[in-house]
């Protein structure tokens, strides 16, 4: 399926930015114009997010993205994905390797996340409780705890970053109804298959993100064995939004090695 909303700007080596869960392509606003100056930059809204339609039948995010890249005739591209978007990028590398030159993830491993840290599991349990009760505002407020990580509060973030996050998250929530069919087909055996990836896989993590998120990214990089894990200081789960200059510098450094 290729009915996703996307942006395609610039020219040159293709970079594909893949957003996190409940967000949309706008989370990359501090990266798209910067890298479009000397790259072809593509950023899409995943199915059920932002301006892309909701699912009406079984689908996989990775297959959606692969279909879009084939439609756009990108050839092998560097996929840069954060959180859910990182898992999607890894899925494409596993299932559609001809489309991938390299992968850069942030705050994630594969699309089968494994959470063991007490802070993360507490947040996820509270989020699940609110979702089961159909309390969207409470669920959004709980999800926002990931933006600041276990050692800070929302008051420690730039208010403009908080506003942008709330706007995107509320927009994606508004597209859905509680109890609607769950059409997404879950991935299988991603961690077991990761060592087969034969392109560079790097990570750029926020130093203040949860141990689970950073640990999964570091484990992914180690299992593939072709890349490095870098850290953006003073940022949690969205280092590209909290510290865009540092994130962009780290990404440019990695692109020079790929």
**How do residues 184-195 score in pLDDT, each as one tens digit?**
999 999 999 999
Hunting for tokens 């942006």 — which residue is that?
7
**How do residues 25-47 score in pLDDT, each as one tens digit?**
999 999 999 999 999 999 999 99
Name the CATH superfamily housing domain 6-115+180-257: Alpha/Beta hydrolase fold, catalytic domain (3.40.50.1820)
User: Looking only at Cα atoms, what is the longest distance across the chain?
Assistant: 48
Residues 6 or more apart from 5 whose CB is under 8 A from it? 25, 44, 45, 50, 51, 52
**How do residues 130-153 score in pLDDT, each as one tens digit?**
999 999 999 999 999 999 999 999
Q: How many CB atoms lie under 10 A from the CB of residue 52?
A: 21
Q: Is the pLDDT of residue 244 over 80?
A: yes
Q: How many CB atoms lie under 10 A from the CB of residue 246?
A: 19
| Res 115: pLDDT | 95
Least confident range of 13-17, 73-77, 174-178: 174-178
User: Could you tell me the pLDDT band of residue 178, with boundaries at 50, 70 and 90?
Assistant: confident
Q: What pTM was estimated for this model as a whole?
A: 0.97
| Res 101: pLDDT | 98
Q: Is the pLDDT of residue 1 over 60?
A: no
Give the integer Cα–Cα distance in Å for 51 and 183: 18
Q: How is the chain split into domains, by residue range?
A: 6-115+180-257, 118-174
């Amino acid at each position: 399926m290729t009915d996703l909303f996307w942006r395609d700007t610039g020219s040159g080596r293709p970079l594909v930015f893949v957003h996190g869960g409940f967000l949309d392509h706008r989370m990359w606003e501090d990266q798209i114009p910067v890298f479009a100056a000397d790259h072809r930059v593509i950023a899409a809204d995943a199915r059920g997010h932002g301006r892309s339609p909701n699912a009406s039948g079984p689908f996989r995010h990775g297959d959606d993205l692969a279909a879009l890249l084939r439609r756009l005739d990108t050839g092998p591209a560097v996929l840069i994905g954060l959180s859910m978007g990182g898992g999607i990028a890894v899925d494409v590398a596993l299932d559609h390797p001809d489309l991938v030159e390299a992968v850069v993830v942030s705050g994630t491993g594969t699309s089968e996340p494994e959470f063991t840290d007490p802070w993360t599991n507490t947040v996820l349990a509270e989020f699940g409780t609110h979702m089961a009760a159909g309390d969207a505002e409470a669920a959004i407020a709980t999800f926002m705890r990931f933006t600041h990580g276990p050692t800070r509060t929302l008051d420690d973030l730039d208010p403009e970053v908080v506003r942008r996050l709330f706007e995107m998250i509320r927009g994606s929530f508004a597209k859905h109804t509680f109890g609607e069919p769950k059409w997404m087909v879950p991935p299988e055996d991603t961690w077991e298959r990761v060592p087969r990836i034969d392109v560079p896989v790097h990570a750029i993590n926020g130093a203040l993100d949860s141990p689970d998120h950073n640990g999964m990214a570091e484990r992914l990089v180690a299992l593939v064995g072709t890349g490095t894990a870098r850290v953006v200081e003073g940022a949690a789960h969205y280092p590209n939004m909290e510290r865009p200059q540092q994130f962009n510098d780290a990404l440019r450094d990695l692109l020079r090695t790929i």
